[in-house]
Amino acid sequence: MSFNALKEKGMPLEKQLRNWHQIVAEPYKKQKVDCYTRTRQILMNGIEVEGWGFKHQFNRFMSNIDTCDREIISKLGRIENQQQMTCNWLSPADQSVLETTLAYEQVAVDLTAWLAQNEKDKYVKETFDFGLLEDFDHLYRYAQFACMSEGLKPDDIVQEQTDVIIGRPTQYHHNCNALRLRHHYDKNTAEPQTKVNILTVLSGEQQTHNFYAEHGFMYANHVLRETYAEIKDVEEEHVTMYESLIDPTESMFEKALLHEFTEVCNYYTCVEDETDENMKKYWEIFFEMELTHLQLIAEMFKKYEKRDPEEVIGSEIVIPCRFKSQKVYVQKVLEKEVNKRLAPEGEYYKTIEEIPSDWASYPVQERVAEISAPSENCIKLIRFYKDRDVVAASEILKNKEVSLLEKGLQKHATAHNTVMPDELQEMIDLNEERESDKEKII
Ligand SMILES: [Fe+2]
Ligand SMILES: [Fe+2]
Ligand SMILES: [Fe+2]
Ligand SMILES: [Fe+2]
């Protein structure tokens, strides 16, 4: 069905201000929530944080606009702020930081995998595939701590929808910043879908970074604190990578239009996909609000830029996030691309064998892990708890774990505490032996 967001009826701005009782909604039950209801709630929080922050940047940078329009922008910022509180605080108080962390990485994996399959620009698609395997490995590293600290199984959170196993090892996600900068799209030729896809994943990654920044210190375990620090730093690189895909010559009004359009498209998808009736009510209300935000910005765009908003966002809604299991796609990318590394802007990605000996990321990786890589220490530690690493995947994929590790390892800049393939194999064998012993006893 065709849906032009510029022409549909929204909720008048004067009706959008809500009271505290409405803003602070009743949280979902962590024991009952569907994992994809939770991923939608996490993503929409990230989208609202970006929508709120952008309006403040807009008001700080834009001097030549009428007072009445500046007032509208500041009112919209207030509404984004209220929506953000509702979205984020739908999380229950008894959901631990590590539980929420696993859910954040599930968002990253399943969202990026969906985007990659719905992205026509080949270079942008390859960038999504590249980032995907990094968040996939974060999920695996955090799953070790979730087991050690809180006795959690990964499926308690990901509900068998997302595999949890080694990916491109986190110690190799640290790069020279110059290499993280990607080639940007051309604002005049890029599809609205590409623009919305990038802004969606960027908002998610930014909020993941913020969440780790503000919660990683809440655990006493020093190795876990270091792992949060390490992965937070990778999320910083992900923000750098995804934002560099955006054409920097877009005007602030063009960006404002894309921000509201991204909100509209995401809530539209949430309404379509949501199975939890309570959550759906919020998505429906916020969707109506966003239609008005978009239309108000569209009027300003016409007034100040004398252009048709459809030149930027088209005349059709786009779908940026269908949360569903992406195991088959992710496994395919994992097996093929675990050995990929960053090449300079404008070039496609390279394999470990293809990168030069003076690759700019080697010194960065050597420096940050000169004592040890926390993300490797977590695998060393889990051995004392249960013989081997925590994995949640099919037997076929599990049997490939050692070869995946082998393929992802670099000859250079590998931390001295790295779990090497023979050590991982030993852990797996020991675990198998003990499991069969247990069978004998019982
Ligand atoms: Fe919003
Ligand atoms: Fe991540
Ligand atoms: Fe990430
Ligand atoms: Fe908005």
CA of 433 to the centre of ligand 4 (A): 56
pLDDT of residue 63: 86
Cβ < 5 A residues, ion ligand 4:
51, 260, 263, 290, 293
Residue 277 lies in a domain: yes
CB 385 within 8 A of CB 148: yes
- Give me the sign of the Cα torsion angle 28, 30, 32, 35: positive
Residue 374 lies in a domain: no
Predicted model pTM = 0.97
Residue 305 lies in a domain: yes
Strand residues in 184-342 grouped as ranges (E): 340-341
- Of the chain, the percentage scoring pLDDT greater than 90 comes to 95
Residue 402 lies in a domain: no
At 205 the three-state DSSP class reads helix
**Mean of the per-residue pLDDT values for the chain?**
96
pLDDT of residue 347: 77
What domain range includes position 213? 13-333
Residue 101 lies in a domain: yes
- Of the chain, the percentage scoring pLDDT greater than 70 comes to 98
Q: How far is CA 266 from the centre of its chain?
A: 14
Residue 184 lies in a domain: yes
pLDDT of residue 350: 95
Residue 2: band (very low, low, confident or very high) from pLDDT cuts 50, 70, 90: confident
CA of 69 to the centre of ligand 1 (A): 18
- Give me the sign of the Cα torsion angle 85, 91, 93, 98: negative
pLDDT of residue 348: 80
Among all bound ligands, the one having the nearest atom to the CA of 205 is 3
Among all bound ligands, the one having the nearest atom to the CA of 131 is 3
Q: What is the spatial distance between Cα 425 and Cα 413, in angstroms, rounded to a whole number? A: 22
| Predicted confidence (pLDDT) per residue in 321-369, tens digit | 899 999 999 999 999 999 999 997 667 899 999 999 999 999 999 999 9
* Total structural domains within the chain: 1
CA of 42 to the centre of ligand 3 (A): 14
Residue 160 lies in a domain: yes
Residue 202 lies in a domain: yes
CA of 313 to the centre of ligand 1 (A): 17
- Residue 1: is its pLDDT beyond 70? no
- Residue 396: is its pLDDT beyond 70? yes
CA of 143 to the centre of ligand 4 (A): 34
